[in-house]
Amino acid sequence: MRRIASIASLLALAALALLGGCGEPQFSDAEKKIIASLALNTLPSLKPDTTNQYGDVPAAAALGSTLFFDAGMSRDGTVSCSTCHKIDRQFQDDLPQAVGVGHTNRRTMPLAGVARNPWFFWDGRRDSLWAQALTPLENPLEQAGNRAAFAHYIKKRFGERYERIFGPMPDLSTVPANASPLGTDAEKAAWNAMPAGQQDDVNRVYANIGKALAAFERSIEPEQTRFDRFAIDLATGAKPEGDAAFSPEEILGLKLFIGKANCVTCHNGPRFTDNAFHNTGVPTVDGLPPDRGRVDAVAQVEADPFNCLGKFRDGDESACRELRFMVKGGPQIMRAYKTPSLRGAASRPPYMHAGQFATLDEVVAHYSKAPLSVEGVSEVHPLDLSDRERAALVAFLKTLSE
């Protein structure tokens, strides 16, 4: 009788332990699989960019780094890439809209993992990192320069470094001091007066500036966070220790993120982005010019002489499939913007493509309420999250910044 009683007591204890769950976080196998897919250790190594043969050349990255921080790379010598992409602020500027030579209409994007993007800018109006890097250089609101002036500047300041990487600098002796197909009327006239061969020479130097900048930016990669340490422990079955342990609120936030709140639908993979464009009903900003997002970027990337199908690409055309198979029209790209990575997001307000929201609480409240889009159709649907659930989502998002 005593033996039966002791067996029964063991069984009872085992049943209690099962029911009680031992206080461990409970994730289903499906949830564990999603969590593992978000961890940084699943990020593959960065593939070479075959359109930029200098992308992994150290001397090109070194020149790119010099140019990135050089305010001489602007019309008035006051603005560099690093003016908005601040090295100690995740390569962004904490402003609702970037300010270069003038005030722009878009939020500066951070640069961690940027070389992994298929599309650049919030609307994807460029299709390679080197083509992207050229755009602010000539934007009158950003660096406000012109490509002829940049070619002269590179020859004068960095000619020897340039030639060691890219080969002989062309003869620029008859190239006007200021000329560009995108500049002021005078710059356009000067550009149009140049022989085609000379335009090509300047465009080639200009493209190489972008390739050097891209080579430098390829080194900027996301860093491991508390979430990644938690996810690795969850995957291996180890008990999370120290800051890898999540609070009950953070666990609830993670469960909502990959479950009921549907965040992971678009914020997926180890960079928390699907690299695609979505209309999520983000409001307009008073005082800014009309902004229709992706729908207006299609013609811009197609017209860009530095796009993948243009003559300044290295390698063959097989690298151009994103451009070749892009969606060119239809209601789904109206006011659609690129899904941003959420790594580091909690420590870089404000949010959205024009800094519409000052805090993560406002962002989560927006997605919970899911207002209609001012133009086009929002893809998100109301979630009606409770106060506790919204706070839990924000608590989880902070683990991607710690």
Both structure tokens of 181: 């197909």
84 known ligand binder: yes
Contacts of residue 216, defined as CB under 8 A and 6 or more positions apart, other chains included, come to 60, 61, 62, 63, 64, 65, 67, 68
CB of 321 to other proteins, least distance (A): 5
The binder of other proteins chosen from 177, 238, 299, 327 (CB under 8 A): 327
Task: Pick between residue 73 and residue 319 the one whose CB is nearest to other proteins.
Answer: 319
275 lies in the site for other proteins, by CB under 8 A: yes
Options 212-220, 267-275, 348-356, 384-392: segment touching other proteins (CB under 8 A) = 267-275
Task: Pick between residue 64 and residue 340 the one whose CB is nearest to other proteins.
Answer: 340
50 lies in the site for other proteins, by CB under 8 A: no
Options 165-173, 229-237, 262-270, 283-291: segment touching other proteins (CB under 8 A) = 262-270
Site size with other proteins, rule: CB under 8 A = 28
Residue 248 has phi, psi (to 5 degrees) of: -55, -35
Task: Pick between residue 164 and residue 321 the one whose CB is nearest to other proteins.
Answer: 321
Cβ atoms 340, 109 nearer than 8 A: yes
Task: Pick between residue 68 and residue 119 the one whose CB is nearest to other proteins.
Answer: 119
Rounded Cα distance between 281 and 284, Å, is 9
The binder of other proteins chosen from 103, 260, 324, 369 (CB under 8 A): 324
Burial class (CB in 10 A: 0-12, 13-18, 19+), 139: middle
Cβ atoms 186, 149 nearer than 8 A: no
Nearest Cα neighbor of 349 from 112, 95, 121 is 95
81 known ligand binder: yes
The binder of other proteins chosen from 377, 382, 386, 402 (CB under 8 A): 377
Contacts of residue 84, defined as CB under 8 A and 6 or more positions apart, other chains included, come to 92, 93, 95, 98, 99, 100, 108, 136, 142
8 lies in the site for other proteins, by CB under 8 A: yes
Rounded Cα distance between 229 and 234, Å, is 9
Task: Pick between residue 249 and residue 322 the one whose CB is nearest to other proteins.
Answer: 322
284 lies in the site for other proteins, by CB under 8 A: no
Q: Max alpha carbon distance in the chain (Å)?
A: 107
The binder of other proteins chosen from 50, 53, 219, 268 (CB under 8 A): 268
Which residues from 293-312 bind other proteins, rule CB under 8 A? none
Burial class (CB in 10 A: 0-12, 13-18, 19+), 292: middle
CB of 56 to other proteins, least distance (A): 21
Please name the amino acid found at residue 26: Q
Nearest Cα neighbor of 225 from 352, 39, 79 is 39
CB of 334 to other proteins, least distance (A): 12
The binder of other proteins chosen from 233, 249, 361, 379 (CB under 8 A): 379
265 lies in the site for other proteins, by CB under 8 A: yes
85 known ligand binder: yes
Cβ atoms 211, 52 nearer than 8 A: yes
Q: Residue 199, SS3?
A: helix
Task: Give the sign of the dihedral formed by CA 10, CA 15, CA 20, CA 26.
Answer: positive
The binder of other proteins chosen from 200, 274, 314, 362 (CB under 8 A): 274
CB of 200 to other proteins, least distance (A): 31
CB of 38 to other proteins, least distance (A): 12
Q: Which residues are annotated as a binding site for heme c?
A: 81, 84-85, 263, 266-267
Residues near other proteins (CB under 8 A) are 1, 4-5, 8-9, 11-12, 15, 265-266, 268-269, 274-278, 321-322, 324-328, 330, 332, 377, 379
Q: Which residues are annotated as a binding site?
A: 81, 84-85, 263, 266-267
